[in-house]
Amino acid sequence: MHPALQTPLLSLLGCQLPIMLAGMGGVARHRLAAAVANAGGFGCMGMVREPPERIRSEIQALRTLTAAPFGINLIPAATDAALLKREISTCLSEQVPVMVLFWGVDAPLVRHLKAAGVTVIHQVGTVAAAEAALAAGADALIAQGVEAGGHVHGTVSTLALLPEVVALSDVPVAAAGGIGSGAALVAALALGAQGVSLGSALLATHEANAHPHHQQRLLAASAEETVYTRQFARNWHEPAPVRVLPNAVTAGAYAEEAARGESPEIGQQDGQPIYLFSTDSPLADATGRLDDMALYAGQSCGQITTLCSAAERIEQIIGEAEQTLRRLIRT
């Protein structure tokens, strides 16, 4: 492998390639995390607001598929305090090696995890959040640009945010948002990143727990089609912005329901109802009005046109990155 792809972040994470699976709630479960880890990347399971029993069973299932270190992603600010406490104690009792946190920085939680020997990575969308995560003791950061799919914390592009975050400290930084190709990986490395965290590119894989409708919409979309909106705010602690594919919700077809504060049931998944305007994206077993759900996608979707295995996606991105490096560095 080209030496430019072998960054210190890899030893921190215990993986071989500078590609991390973004902690996509519901979508990144044990099958996808294991596939990424077994392909040489870093597997992370998105467990935001999941019951502790599911966190435990997903960790156990993951460990039957890979011996590689892995991460669990939680979003403290968007989780009921009592549930968060139980989630954390489950992760600690399962000896989760890495926790990937997002949204507001919960400094006491970061310190608690660090004291328990956990490696803490914080995804940030602003310099202020990066400073707060570093002050709390984060071991690595993920700089998320506004191009990203799902919940978007900042308003600055990856290209502009990344160097500012990198300049803050010697802590390794990975880039997220707008990255779906090997050339984009090399661009992130050129800006000082030591790896990338991929959501959309790994959502469109066989092992992702996303509904095929979501995957097909993402594959067909171009970067300019994605919508940055606060319309999917149910079951989140604040009306936070998300990046999604356009649908009837983003077109304003349910403006009257929104004005009346109504959010009727529109489907089911994981044995639970899904409500209009909810932050839940349609998972593999979802039924109901799938296209009215939150179809998260980053602007990277324009670079992703085929459904393949996670290993094929990673192999393709690394192969392209090697080619790009050879093209740029002719020695």
Token pair of 157, please? 């592009």
Contact mark string toward ligand FMN, 158..177, x via CB under 6 A: ------------------xx
Residue whose entry in the numeric block shows the structure tokens 């914080």 = 122
CB 90 within 8 A of CB 113: no
C-alpha distances in Å from residue 234, one per residue of 213, 258, 279, 294:
22, 11, 6, 11
Minimal distance, residue 145 CB to ligand FMN, in Å: 8
The secondary structure of residue 261, as a DSSP letter, is: T
Q: Is 48 in the site for ligand FMN (CB under 6 A)?
A: yes
CA gap 96, 107 in Å, rounded: 19
Please name the helix (run of DSSP H) or strand (run of DSSP E) that holds residue 274, with its range, or none: strand 272-275
Q: Is 148 in the site for ligand FMN (CB under 6 A)?
A: yes
Q: Is 283 in the site for ligand FMN (CB under 6 A)?
A: no
Q: Which is nearer to ligand FMN, 99 or 259 (CB)?
A: 99
Rg (CA), the chain: 18
Token pair of 194, please? 């030591």
DSSP string covering 175-202: EESS--SHHHHHHHHHTT-SEEEESHHH
Q: Is 296 in the site for ligand FMN (CB under 6 A)?
A: yes
Q: Which of 200, 215, 231, 269 binds ligand FMN (CB under 6 A)?
A: 200
Q: Is 129 in the site for ligand FMN (CB under 6 A)?
A: no
Number of residues forming the site for ligand FMN (CB under 6 A): 30
CB 173 within 8 A of CB 45: no
Q: Is 22 in the site for ligand FMN (CB under 6 A)?
A: yes
Residue whose entry in the numeric block shows the structure tokens 């324009």 = 302
Minimal distance, residue 123 CB to ligand FMN, in Å: 5
Q: Which of 146, 300, 310, 325 binds ligand FMN (CB under 6 A)?
A: 300
Q: Which of 73, 79, 119, 250 binds ligand FMN (CB under 6 A)?
A: 73
Q: Which of 13, 21, 24, 286 binds ligand FMN (CB under 6 A)?
A: 24
Contact mark string toward ligand FMN, 109..128, x via CB under 6 A: --------------x-----
DSSP string covering 127-144: HHHHHHHHHHT-SEEEEE
**Which positions touch ligand FMN (CB under 6 A)?**
22-25, 27, 46, 48, 73, 75, 102, 123, 144, 148-151, 176-179, 197-201, 203, 281, 296, 298, 300
